[in-house]
């Protein structure tokens, strides 16, 4: 379905908080929706200290009549009459605070993924959405992609039988500039706020969220994690993780496995494989899906841009035409998984220097373009994905096992005690200090 053609005529008045970084991506899609007559951009928050006059000029914000505010609080207090929907491409630590304040002010919200770092924050966002009656959408574009929507339909119709196993993987190459792009990149906490930035809660969060969604045979629902075992590592000089593997046992009976790294020699298209009792679905994100049942193979190609679909779906939901594809309520199980992963791993373990190397692309003399690559990481993740093994189970030299973490019904507050003690307690494994 191309959501773009199902929107009602009522234009949604938008405000955006932050136009630098990922905010520019949102400006692009807001502009596309404006051209389609679906919305207008009426307000933007641009902090003077960010010095983004060039972006204001590039996107002709002043000429288009966009009112510029210096802070989020100014927008809510002084510009409330200008917009219906606020878009929040802001730091992870501010997702819950800004979303809740906006809903208290009677505004709909599109919050960039992840919903927040902790389950207590996501619960607060869900409660305010329910109490206010306002849409609180989370920016997981894959949830609005043709491929995920079609795969979910096949699962709900029982085409591949009962889902038993789901695997996903992702391999990216990320340089020093990526990890220094803002004050919270690669952090567990920043400015007294939980961040948990890393593969599972940021770049490859899409695959985990989609896997939880596809593990449930009910439309509008994701599977709840009951048991999480995760190994978290970093090859870069960061606080949080850039390489991970995770096993999730869910209430639907499906087991989800994921492996990801930002220490690859090159980028790979992420993949998801769903194994049912009657068949399988293999998805190459953004490209195609193959449904295999008995001896037949059906191939579905991605038709529409998933972020265009996401925006159109949100406008439809505000207009009462379609249900929201990724409301904050459905992402609670994702955040439970992330919190369970950190609880399970207890520490983010360093990948020792002998198992990684720093590379400068094409002989570049620009230090920011240098990147860390873990030796043989493509083969390690490929095997882990195919055999559904944690790195320690696969005998990876630098891997160390972690403990299963049970997520009971009453788990509602993330603390991650190990982080509080990290400066005074170290764990040593095979002669290597892990912190």
pLDDT at 422: 44
Residue 355: both structure tokens together: 């198992």
User: What average pLDDT does range 342-355 have in this prediction?
Assistant: 97
Average pLDDT over residues 324-331: 98
User: Do residues 187 and 302 both lie within one domain?
Assistant: yes
Distance between CA atoms of residues 399 and 375, nearest Å: 13
What would the pLDDT profile of 56-88 be if each residue is shown by its tens digit? Answer: 999 999 999 999 999 999 999 999 999 999 999
225, two tokens? 């994690």
300-327 tens-digit pLDDT: 999 999 999 999 999 999 999 989 999 9
Scanning 182-247, the segments in alpha helix (DSSP H) are 205-214
168 within 8 A of 207, measured Cβ to Cβ: yes
133 & 205 share domain: no
Q: What pLDDT is recorded for position 368?
A: 83
- The answer on pLDDT for 121 being more than 80 is yes
425 or 80, greater pLDDT: 80
pLDDT the model gives residue 418: 55
What pLDDT sits at residue 365? 61
Do 345 and 427 fall into the same domain? yes
**Strand, coil or helix: 200:** coil
Residue 415's pLDDT is 86
Whole domain around residue 25: which residue ranges?
Answer: 3-139
CA within 13 Å, CB half, 75: 29
Q: How far apart are CA 113 and CA 138, in angstroms?
A: 6
| Distance (Å, whole) CA 143 – CA 116 | 17
Clarify whether residues 122 and 174 are in a common domain.
Answer: no
Residues 6+ apart with CB under 8 A from 354: none
Output the CA–CA distances (angstroms, integers) from residue 327 to 1, 223, 324, 332, in the order listed. 19, 15, 6, 10
Q: 3-state class of 247 per DSSP?
A: strand
Question: Same domain, yes or no, for 79 and 211?
Answer: no
Q: Is 135 in the same domain as 63? A: yes
Which of 139, 171, 188 is at the close of a domain?
Answer: 139
Could you tell me if 221 and 86 lie in one domain? no
Q: What is the CATH number of the domain that holds 389?
A: 3.30.360.10
The number of folded domains in the chain is 2
If you average pLDDT over every residue of the chain, what do you get? Answer: 93
* DSSP state letter for 162: S
Distance CA 416, CA 314 (A): 34
* 127 and 151 co-located in one domain: no
What are the DSSP calls for 108-141, one per residue?
EEEEESSS-SSHHHHHHHHHHHHHHT--EEEE-G
Which one of 105, 139, 173 terminates a domain? Answer: 139
CB contact at 8 A, 177 and 239:
no
Residue listed under structure tokens 């679909």: 309
Q: ∠ CA 147-151-153 to the nearest 5 degrees?
A: 120
Q: What is the pLDDT of residue 3?
A: 45
Q: Are 54 and 24 in contact (CB under 8 A)?
A: no
Direct distance between the N- and C-terminal alpha carbons of the chain, in angstroms, rounded to an integer? 48
pLDDT of residue 360: 85
Q: Answer yes or no: is pLDDT of 426 > 50.
A: no
Give the mean pLDDT of 24-44: 96
Take residue 202 and report the two structure tokens written for it: 């940021």
Residues 152 and 216 in one domain: yes
pLDDT digits (tens, 9 = 90+) for 219-247: 999 999 999 999 999 999 999 999 999 99
Closest by alpha carbon to 196, among 128, 110, 95, 111? 95
Residue where a domain stops, chosen among 104, 119, 139:
139
CB contact set of 313 (below 8 Å; sequence gap of 6+): 3, 137, 144, 322, 324, 325
The answer, yes or no, to whether residue 416 has pLDDT greater than 90, is no
Together in a domain, 40 and 155 = no
pLDDT band for position 5 (cuts 50, 70, 90):
very low
Contacts with 71 (C-beta within 8 Å, 6 or more apart), sequence order:
45, 47
Nearest one of 118, 110, 13, 119 to 67, comparing CA atoms: 13
Average pLDDT for residues 398-421, to the nearest whole number? 87
Q: In the structure, what pLDDT confidence band is assigned to residue 362 with cuts at 50, 70 and 90?
A: low
* Residue 122's CATH number: 3.40.50.720
pLDDT of 369 above 60: yes
Q: Residue 291's pLDDT is what?
A: 98
Our CA dihedral for 53, 54, 55, 57, rounded to 10 degrees, sits at: 90
Distance CA 172, CA 242 (A): 10
- Rounded Cα distance, 19 and 45, in Å: 8
CA 117 to chain centre: 11
Report the C-alpha gap between 364 and 88 in whole angstroms. Answer: 35
Same domain, 309 and 348: yes
| Residue 150 · residue 289 · CB < 8 Å | yes
How far is the C-alpha of 245 from the C-alpha of 420, rounded, in Å?
23
Determine contact, residues 117/142, Cβ cutoff 8 Å. no
Query: Is the domain of 290 the same as that of 399?
Result: yes
CA-wise closest residue to 90 among 150, 45, 142? 45
Residue found under tokens 């706020």: 193
> Beta strand 193-194 with 189-190: parallel, antiparallel or unpaired?
antiparallel
């Amino acid at each position: 379905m191309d959501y773009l053609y199902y929107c009602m005529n009522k234009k949604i008045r938008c405000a955006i908080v932050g136009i630098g970084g990922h905010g520019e991506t949102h400006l692009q899609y807001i502009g596309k929706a404006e051209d389609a007559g679906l919305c207008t951009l009426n307000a933007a928050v641009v902090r003077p200290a960010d010095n983004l006059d060039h972006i204001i000029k590039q996107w002709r914000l002043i000429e288009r009549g966009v009112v510029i505010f210096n802070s989020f609080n100014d927008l809510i207090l002084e510009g409330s009459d200008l917009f219906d929907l606020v878009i929040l491409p802001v730091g992870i630590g501010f997702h819950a605070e800004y979303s809740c304040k906006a809903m208290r002010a009677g505004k709909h919200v599109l919050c960039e993924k992840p919903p927040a770092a902790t389950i207590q924050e996501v619960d607060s966002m869900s409660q305010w959405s329910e109490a206010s009656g306002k849409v609180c959408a989370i920016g997981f574009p894959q949830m609005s992609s043709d491929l995920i929507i079609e795969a979910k339909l096949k699962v709900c119709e029982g085409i591949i039988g009962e889902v038993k196993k789901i695997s996903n993987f992702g391999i990216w190459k990320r340089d020093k500039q990526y990890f220094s792009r803002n004050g919270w990149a690669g952090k567990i906490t920043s400015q007294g706020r939980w961040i948990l930035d890393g593969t599972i809660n940021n770049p490859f969060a899409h695959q985990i969220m989609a896997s939880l969604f596809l593990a449930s045979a009910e439309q509008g629902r994701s599977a709840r994690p009951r048991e999480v075992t995760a190994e978290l590592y970093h090859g870069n000089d960061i606080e949080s993780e850039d390489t991970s593997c995770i096993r999730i046992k869910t209430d639907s009976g499906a087991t989800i496995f994921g492996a990801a790294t930002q220490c690859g020699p090159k980028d790979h298209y992420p993949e998801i494989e769903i194994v049912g009792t009657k068949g399988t679905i293999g998805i190459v994100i953004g490209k195609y899906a193959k449904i295999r049942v008995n001896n037949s193979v059906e191939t579905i190609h991605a038709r529409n841009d998933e972020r265009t679909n996401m925006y159109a779906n949100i406008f439809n939901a505000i207009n009462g035409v379609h249900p929201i594809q990724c409301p904050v309520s459905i992402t609670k199980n994702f955040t439970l998984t992330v919190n369970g992963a950190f609880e399970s791993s207890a520490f983010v373990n360093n990948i020792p220097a002998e198992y990684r190397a720093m590379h400068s692309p094409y002989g570049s003399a620009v230090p920011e373009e240098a990147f860390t690559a873990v030796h043989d990481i493509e083969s390690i993740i490929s095997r882990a994905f195919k055999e559904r093994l944690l790195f320690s189970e696969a005998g990876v030299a630098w891997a160390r096992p972690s403990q299963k973490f049970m997520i009971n019904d009453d788990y509602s507050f993330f603390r991650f005690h190990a982080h509080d003690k990290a400066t005074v307690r170290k764990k040593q494994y095979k002669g290597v200090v892990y912190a």
